[in-house]
Amino acid sequence: MTDTLVPTLEDALQQWRDANWIRSIDVALVELLQQAGEQNPAVLLASLFASHQVGRGHTVLHLNALAENPNHTLALPPVNNTAGDCVTPAELLEQCWPKAEPSVLESTLCVDTTGEGQQPLVLINDQLYLRRYYLYERFIEADLKQRMDDEPVVNEELLQQTLALLFASSADDKINWQRLACANTVKHRFSVLTGGPGTGKTYTVVRLLTALQHQTLKLGLPPLRISLAAPTGKAAARLRESIEAELKSLKDTSALASLTAAFDAITPNGKTLHRLLGVMPNSRQFKHNERNPLRTDVVIVDEASMMDIEMMVALLKATPKHARLVLIGDKDQLASVEAGAVLGNLCAGADQGHYHPSTVSWLERVAQSPSLPREFIDADGPQRLQHVVMLRESRRFFGPIADLANAINYQQQEQITEELAKAGRAESDYPVRVLDIDSLDAPEFKQLVRDGIPRLRRDDFDSFDDYVKATLDANTQFQILTALREGPWGMKAVNQKVGEILGVNANSWYDGRPVMVTKNDYGLKLNNGDIGIAFADPEHGHLRVAFPDDSDNTQTGKSGIRWVLPSRLTHIETVYAMTVHKSQGSEFKHTVMVLPDHDTPVMSKELLYTGITRAKERLSLVGNNLFSQGGKRV
């Protein structure tokens, strides 16, 4: 970095754009304001940074944080991308807006300080918004308040009886949070159900739907219309499959025969949010909105941590006010790639409960629950938290992997160091393994790839279809995840390296190539995130890509496989490795996390927690100096 600042703001922004520090759309906003007559460099710089934060997934720019540590707040310059002699945000601020004080922005025509104007920027205290995202936040706040204030009529005695049938009584006066969540969700038109892996979110949802249908049918009304959705096609399919499996188990339980009509009224049909709302080509709008709402009585959205603020607004506009809206997800996972951490914001404080005494009294009475701990009771708790229940006991996710994930989630540094040390000295059969290597050329990484990626023999199966199905299933048992997409430790580089280890060109078509769909293709009935494998088909004599398909009418006429020609797949990438963002909602028997050899803002606790909790049985952490600074890198 040179000591001489660039002569103009325009030159600095051009350098940043050329170095890929900022987006072209960020610069376009500055140019638009200049064309409108704005010349104050502080205002132009503030607009640039507000737009840049949206690109990073944040809906607001906090000016106090900007003044204290601009480079950290903006994550600029990017790690390993200093771009020679580019001026840094701190240096440019010192030149154009030394203290980043909000008062400098209050008198300009481009900034609205009331929230009622039409200016492109909105300043509330030290928070600077692009107007669109300010309006999104205000809309969500007003809409949810209306839904939370309007409580449906509930037959408490009937609900109490239904819960007693659906949830076994605890013999040791232990709080059944699943039972409480079901009761609380029936009580409200808007609810959030959050919890980590294995806490029984789907288990609870099936019983919630049963309780709702039972209430309705007992009144002699038609069954409730239910809409199940998720941000991705893969997540929507898993939601449907999980509910179908749990529903079948309940139907086979003789003690629940009195609920048969309620079970039969539940028709799982998971869709992506885009399909549920109705995509309109070449538009940001949806078919279903406030003028044409969904014809539904219950909307359940799984993996809601992946939902951005714009999608949340669209969902609220399309969901009729009389309907129940339920969001499900792990509040501690990564937020959406787009702007806005909707689920995380709604669940802020959920760990401590903050339930009003009236909320606690109702739940304990209707759910017949032991008394909630006093620390969960708060007469001044936010209204939104009366609609949130956090499932706190994992029934299948425990052991060393869970211990490490929880230590990272709660930032328990001593525990993190202890767990990593255990993994470093443990035997090979220990669930967590650490490979502290300098590069992906290390023999340990090559061996990890050779041992992990499944290779099945066709001769071991009675038919080609059986071989394909087994290979597709085996492909879900081992997955490499990366924190980054680009760079020597990023997804692209790792895929290339795995190809070299296996002796193939990872980005060309060959027998055995695993690929991920990166954009919804409704013509092929493939969703963003779907994974398939290329096979040299002996019957057709050329490569075709097989995707799992649970329908009975595939192109082959056989259940379980959907065949697609490679030439028809226009949006795919090789997927020996995928980013942690892309892995959300998935689980793998053995998960390998490749971590960069340098600190980067991307390496948040949310990313690490999300990646680690994808592992069901084994976790391998790969990277350089994982134990540096007492384990603080991890």
The span from the CA of 50 to the CA of 98, in Å, is: 17
Return d(Cα 424, Cα 418) in angstroms, integer.
Answer: 10
| Identity of the residue numbered 20 | N
> Which residue has tokens 């539904």?
296
Q: What is the H or E stretch that residue 219 is in?
A: none
Give Cα 366 to chain centroid, integer Å: 33
Q: Give me the amino acid identity at 544.
A: R
- Asked whether the CA dihedral 238, 243, 248, 252 is positive or negative, the reply is positive
Of 584, 609, 575, 596, nearest to 306 by C-alpha is 584
Q: Has 344 been labeled as part of a binding site? A: no
What are the backbone dihedrals phi and psi of residue 52, each rounded to the nearest 5 degrees, phi first? Answer: -60, -40
Which strands make up the sheet holding 615-623, listed edge to edge? 432-436, 615-623, 588-594, 478-482, 577-579
Residue ranges of alpha helices (H) inside 192-259 are 201-218, 233-251
Would you call 351 helix, strand, or coil by DSSP?
Answer: helix
543-549 and 560-564 strand pairing: antiparallel
Token pair, residue 459, equals 């001769």
Q: Nearest to residue 531, comparing CAs of 487, 577, 493, 497?
A: 577
Q: Is 233 annotated as a binding residue?
A: no
Q: What's the N-to-C CA distance of the chain in angstroms? A: 29
List residues bridging with 514 in a β-sheet.
533
Q: Are 30 and 46 in contact (CB under 8 A)?
A: no
Angle between helices 41-55 and 24-35 (to 10 degrees): 150
Query: Which residue's entry shows tokens 């309007």?
Result: 150
Say if residue 201 carries a ligand binding annotation: yes
Q: Is 59 annotated as a binding residue?
A: no
Torsions phi, psi for 347 (to 5 deg):
-95, 5
Per the CB < 8 A criterion, the answer to whether 283 and 256 are in contact is no
CB 589 within 8 A of CB 508: no
For residue 77, whether the previous peptide bond is cis, meaning omega lies within 30 degrees of 0, is: yes
Element (H, E) at 628: helix 628-631
610: which residues sit within 8 A by CB, 6+ positions away? Answer: 333, 334, 580, 583, 584
For residue 548, cis peptide bond before it (omega within 30 degrees of 0) = no
| Burial group, residue 632, by CB count within 10 angstroms (0-12, 13-18, 19+) | exposed
The tokens describing 39, both together, are 């010349």
CA distance 368 to 346: 27
220 annotated to a ligand binding site: no
Backbone angles phi, psi at 630, to 5 degrees: 65, 30
Euclidean distance between CA atoms 266 and 537, whole angstroms: 40
200 marked among binding-site residues:
yes
Q: Which helix (H) or strand (E) holds 335?
A: none
Q: Which two tokens stand for residue 388?
A: 């949130």
The dihedral region occupied by 83, where left means phi > 0, alpha psi between -120 and 50, and beta the remainder, is: left
Q: What residue numbers does the annotated binding site cover?
A: 195-202
Binding site as annotated, residues for ATP: 195-202
